[in-house]
Amino acid sequence: MVEIKTADELNKKFLREGMWPTIFCNGCGHGVVLEYTFWALEELGLDMDKVIFASGIGCSSRLPGYINADGLHTTHGRAIAFATGIKAANPDFHVIIFTGDGDCAGIGGNHFIHAARRNIDMTVIMINNFIYGMTGGQLAPTAPLGSIATTAPYGNIEHPFDISNLACALGANYVARWGVSHPYQPIKSIKEGLEKRGFSLLEFLAPCPTAYGRRNKLGDIKKHWAWYDDNTILIEDYEKIMKYGTEEEKAQVKDKIQLGVFQDIQKPGFFESYEKLVDRLREKETKAKEGKK
Amino acid sequence: MIEVKDDWCKGCNICIDRCPVDALEESDNLNRRGVRPPKLKEENECNYCRLCELICPDLAITVIPEEDDKKPVKKTLLTPVGGKLK
């Protein structure tokens, strides 16, 4: 296999060029996540016939349409349920799910919770832009306190949903959160998530200048991307400051969003345990038959 | 050298803004969408760090390193640091 070094060759291999350019707005972060996924897949050298993409409804869920591989565009919030079906039918496939914050945390919340709890072998790439972008800017459950949306014109008073923390609590095997403006850590994280057996969640903070930035007066594209740099902090730095920092430093980083790998464990996945269960019962049955003879 | 697929560019100028050595600028010609895609400056310090290629949301940029051309490498801001500027 020829090793790919430039973006041009990468695009020829992975992109369905007839669908390009994307429908995404100017300054949207979704295309960057797509590119990071391409690089991760290329570095792992996976057979693209063995990779299946699934998605629900929303901006992020347009992404499988741009990839030259099998994809499933399903109903709102139910991408994880469909992906469980794919995995049950043939456990050899790598299943990657592109989903948004409204799709995964809002409408498909229960599917997400139970897939993580059962530890089904899949990689969920959740692109979090704090808002329902495609449907007109309704308030998403992940939106920070005080943010403006069409359904919250005087500011959000509901506490935001920290989906990475939830996944950690449910015992997902791999949980990481990254922004889109620093390339190398996310690519490495996607690789690790794909290699991991069991449930892995990768949350990306993607800017949405049209629906979120414009209403919240975050400025133009440049300022909006800079907002994500100013309001995020690495989890290692955060913990260090919270442990040893002065009161002033603690007050500075208290409200920032933490980035990094939150959980990296190895528990047996659902289908692994299921195979073992089937083997055990078969053995028991044959023993019982032998006993009758 | 930097190749830009002009018609893929949406003109967000993130590459120009994020370049660690300020090697990019808007070009003079308009593309099909009516925006000015980026190009390398006449005199630039591009060290082929590939940040613009990796960060372009429309996958329009390709960086082709020139082997014989060695320039001092300036490290980009590669880790999220919580607001400290480059």
Residue B69: inside a domain: no
Per-residue pLDDT band for B82 (boundaries 50, 70, 90) equals low
Residue A168: inside a domain: yes
Q: How far is A19 from A36, CA to CA, in rounded Å?
A: 19
Residue B79: inside a domain: no
Residue A117: inside a domain: yes
Average pLDDT over residues B20-46: 88
For residue A116, what pLDDT is reported? 92
Range of the domain at B20: 2-63
Give yes or no for B10 touching A (CB within 8 A).
Answer: yes
For residue B70, what pLDDT is reported? 65
Residue of A nearest to B50 (CA): A6
CA distance, residue B75 to nearest chain A CA (Å): 13
CATH of the domain at B52: 3.30.70.20
For residue B85, what pLDDT is reported? 44
pLDDT digits (tens, 9 = 90+) for B37-77: 999 988 888 888 888 888 999 888 998 887 766 666 665 55
DSSP strand pairing (A199-205 vs A122-128)? parallel
Give yes or no for A219 touching B (CB within 8 A).
Answer: no
* DSSP single-letter state for residue A49: G
Cβ density class A30-58: b for 16+ within 10 Å, e for less: bbbbbbbbbbbbbeeebeeeebbbbbbbb
Residue of A nearest to B65 (CA): A6
Q: Residue A97 in contact with residue A67, Cβ under 8 Å?
A: no
Give yes or no for A207 touching B (CB within 8 A).
Answer: no
Residue B86: inside a domain: no
Measured between beta carbons, the chain A residues lying within 8 angstroms of B8 are 20-21
Residue A276: inside a domain: no
Measure CB to CB from residue B63 to each of A6, A179, A184 and give the nearest one: A6
CA distance, residue B8 to nearest chain A CA (Å): 6
Q: Residue A222 in contact with residue B13, Cβ under 8 Å?
A: yes
Number of domains chain B contains? 1
Per-residue pLDDT band for B80 (boundaries 50, 70, 90) equals low
Residue A281: inside a domain: no
**Alpha helix (H) ranges present in A170-269?**
184-195, 221-230, 235-244, 247-253
Number of domains chain A contains? 1
Residue A293: inside a domain: no
**Alpha helix (H) ranges present in A119-198?**
163-169, 184-195
Give yes or no for A221 touching B (CB within 8 A).
Answer: yes
Per-residue pLDDT of chain A (293 residues; tens, 9 = 90+): 557 778 888 888 888 888 888 889 888 999 999 999 999 999 898 888 999 999 999 889 889 999 999 999 999 999 999 999 999 999 889 999 999 988 898 898 999 999 999 999 999 999 999 999 888 889 999 999 999 999 999 999 999 989 999 999 999 999 999 999 888 889 999 999 999 888 999 999 999 998 898 888 888 899 999 999 888 899 988 898 889 988 888 888 888 899 999 999 998 888 889 999 999 999 999 988 887 76
Measure CB to CB from residue A6 to each of B18, B62, B80 and give the nearest one: B62
Cβ distance B57 to A8 less than 8 Å, yes or no, reads no
Cβ distance A26 to B59 less than 8 Å, yes or no, reads no
Tell me the CA end-to-end span of chain A in Å, nearest whole number.
56
Residue B78: inside a domain: no
For residue A174, what pLDDT is reported? 94
Residue B31: inside a domain: yes
Range of the domain at A146: 7-267
Nearest to A22, CA basis, from B60, B35, B34: B60
Residue A31: inside a domain: yes
Residue A21: inside a domain: yes
Q: Residue A216 in contact with residue A228, Cβ under 8 Å?
A: no
Q: Residue A220 in contact with residue A227, Cβ under 8 Å?
A: no
Residue B28: inside a domain: yes
Tell me the CA end-to-end span of chain B in Å, nearest whole number.
24
Residue A274: inside a domain: no
CATH of the domain at A167: 3.40.50.970
Q: How far is A92 from A266, CA to CA, in rounded Å?
A: 19
